[in-house]
Structure 1
Amino acid sequence: MTFVTSRHILDTVIHKAAQPPWGTYHEQRGLGLSRNTAHAIAALVEGLSKDSFGRVIEPNEQIAEKTPPLDHEDGMVYGLCRLLSGMDSRFHVWCVTFDHDFIDHAKTFERAHCIRVVPPGEFVSHHQKQMVAAMRSASRALGMTS
């Protein structure tokens, strides 16, 4: 599995990690971490991308898409997904989010068949099933029984 992110997402991670945890609205609340810790989290995400043979998409490579119905932030994420899905027809693009409005809107988009916008639990469950199936197949190929 290759992990790709964008500079916009990394900047958002830093902002939300360092943003104070209090605020009138949900969008105004972050984790309240130090700037150094916030940057370390973004560096971890960037490192995961590079270690998995992915990369960081820079701002000049993408635009916000589907705004409206998506807001600018979700539009930037979806724009990255569309960019990736157009690079190679063999790519399976997953966008993992807790944002149920984003998930619902994405089901109506023209590339819904090649860009899967899902909650974290569905992503993990799908890949766990794939791993179990692969292990069973390998066991059968090696003549092992389960």
Structure 2
Amino acid sequence: MMEGHRHLVVFDVNVYLDAAFLTGAPFSWESFDAIAASSAQAPVPHPRGDYDSLRAIATCQSGTFAGLETVEVFTNDHIEDMVHSKAQHPLVPAPGSDLKGLGWNRSDADALLEGFVWEVGNRSSGGCVPTDVPDGNPPLDHEDGMVYGACKYLAGEDPLATVYCVTRDRAFLEAAELGKLSGHTRVLHPAQFVGLVRAARANLGVRRMRPGGPASQ
């Protein structure tokens, strides 16, 4: 892709919750960065999928995809509300309930939203899209459709950008693999996204080493 190309990323709710589960409450960037550093050399995919979620988010912190290509992380109100809500759901669902989450208190859930989810967007020059209109449901359920709707909005705002939805939801990934969703967005597992970014950065490094290659950024 040409230099200056935009890569716009929407992380599903489960990706943020995976990272939060690993860091523990209250969320801290020190814990996040330490886990990212310690798992940086681990294979892709990681033996534990939640580590791939954390690594996928970590690849976006700089706002640089590869070279002059940018990566920007976006949410919508639905994603933010669900992360905040599910962080407070119990680790073990109550009898007759399917509500399962991190078991955090309200204060820690607030800090997770404001200090992590919002900050990921800020660091990458992304943000929160100003609409909550679902797309792709069915076959997606309402929650996944709301996530995919954020992707559709971004694709419409910049048709030249590449939009990604990064999720560990099997039904979401399967719907995309079977071609049941509109093609405005690449739906990837966190491990696939990590591998994609690493390959782009490695390829850039190889090209820079060649005579006449692009200058170092």
Q: TM-score, normalised by structure 2?
A: 0.59
Specify the alignment match of 2:47 in structure 1.
none
1:59-79 superposed Cα distances (whole Å, 9 cap, x missing partner): xx2311222211110010011
1:39 and 2:110 are equivalent in the alignment: yes
| Separation (CA, whole Å) in 1 of partners of 2:160 and 2:86 | 33
Give the superposition deviation at 1:106: 2.5
Secondary structure at the aligned position of 1:2 is classed as strand
1:60-114 CA-partner distances (Å, limit 9, x unpaired): x2311222211110010011111111111221111111111111213424632x4
**Residues 129, 153 of structure 2: 8 Å contact kept:** no
CA distance in 2, matches of 1:14, 1:5: 13
Structure 2 CA distance for partners of 1:6 and 1:90, relative to 1, 3 Å: same
Which position in structure 1 is the counterpart of 2:145?
75
Please name the residue that 1:28 is paired with. 99
SS at match of 2:72: coil
Identity %: 33
- Runs (5+) with no aligned partner, structure 2: 1-70
Structure 1 match to 2:128: 56
Residue number in structure 2 paired with 1:125: 195
The one-letter amino acid paired with 1:74 is: D
Correspondence 1:10 to 2:80: yes
CA distance in 2, matches of 1:135, 1:40: 37
- For residues 96 and 62 of structure 1, the distance between their equivalents in structure 2, rounded to whole angstroms, comes to 18
Describe the SS at the equivalent of 2:165. Answer: strand
The answer on whether the counterparts of 1:103 and 1:117 sit within 8 Å (CA) in structure 2 is yes
Q: Measure how far apart 1:139 and its partner are.
A: 2.3
Aligned residues of 2:78 and 2:132 also touching (Cα < 8 A): no
User: What is the match of residue 55 of structure 2?
Assistant: none
Q: Which runs of 5+ in 1 are unaligned?
A: none
User: Which residue among 169, 173, 184 is the counterpart of 1:99?
Assistant: 169
Equivalent-residue separation in structure 2 for 1:80 and 1:96 (angstroms): 12
The answer to whether the 8 Å contact 1:62/1:83 transfers is: no
> Any residues of structure 2 matched to 1:107-146 within 5 Å, and which?
107=177, 108-109=179-180, 111-112=182-183, 114-140=184-210, 141=213
